[in-house]
Chains A and B, each alone.
Chain A
Amino acid sequence: MDDTAVQVEQRISWEEVYRTEGPRMWRSLLVLTGDPETASDAMAEAFAQGIARGVSIRNPAAWAWKAAFMIARGELTDRPASNAQPEEIIGGVSDEDVMDLLVALRRLSPLQRAAVVLHHYAGYPVKDVAQMLETSRSAIGVHLFRGRNRLRRELGGDDHA
């Protein structure tokens, strides 16, 4: 197989990851950043870097998730948090549940938000979340505990986790 064929095959593989993981990843990034444009940018940059890295990445899906969250968190440190209204974020769709959730999530710190979304929305175990956010499992446990408590206060509901 020549180099061009290898590149095409790799790109198809990354596109498959994008098609399968993309929607959940983009929405996770949206929850983290509160801004659709930043979410799209972080995801596009992660996949672009993955394609450029080529065969050296053994698990493209895991790498893309970690890269996208690292890039999005870099964006958050470089620019102030988005002031976009929830209606703008969800493209004018009138959905009270989504708006309540987005407003409540803004009350969490970025790390609490990232931990909550990766664990409770994306479904990653604490060990993987710690690896993605480059911190310890115990720290993630604390962020999850506090994030859940905060969300419970904001949204109402049981706390049996």
Chain B
Amino acid sequence: MRKLYFLLFFALGCKLWAQEKDYPTIAYDRWMIDFGVTHQFALNDLSLDPVTDNLFSYGSATYIELFSGTYFFNQQWGLNLDFQLGAINDGVLEREERFQNSISDTFGDQYYITKVSLTEFGRSNESSVIGGTSLGLVYRYEKARFTLLSSFDIGFRAFKVTEEAFLLKEIGTNRILNLSYTADGASGFLTTFSPRAKLMYQVKNDFYLKLDVNYSLLVSDFIVLEEFKDTVTDELTIRRIDYGKALHTIGFGIGFAFFL
């Protein structure tokens, strides 16, 4: 009889275990999308040279987080894909004007300066674009109406260096120099490492309001080349400004989210 009870308990136990495997008792939302605005503050800057610093925008910037999608593969853990588009506070036109002024201040006493299109030197002239994307691992913690998401993201942020060229005609002589500023190396983007936390409050059903805070480590790795070419002797003088640096930003944002 004892053996029979043991067999019955064993069979029941197996059935319950099997049911638990097939039909999870805890339901959770697998997909989440969220939108928001984050204001980022640069904790250090990328200033190295009074002339070439004006070839790019880096500093305090407002980033509009266009879209973020998260997939949870269990109740706690998920993967997050984030797209960002940024609006730099520092205007491109003002930056260009500062650059022109710095060229005039540096060379204006000795040369007549004429700006020429870089396409005439066989290079393309690209405009600045600020945007980025990142992929991260998310951990979810829920308490009543509050949900806390913490994540660690790795990604990149678009970062363009404007390329410029000038013709320097020496005052009082026939001498003409070509002066150009070009970017060398990985100037297309900055690699980002970003731990972040989102605190979300459930307003109604699957609709949440969110506050987020993030820190980003950005690794810049590019070189700006200042090249003087004497058009008579073809003598080339190159100055390299190495912008390899670790940059730190902190950001605070608000937005809303949906669980699907």
Partners in one complex: no
Q: Which A residues form the contact surface with B (CB < 8 A)?
A: none
Q: Which B residues form the contact surface with A (CB < 8 A)?
A: none
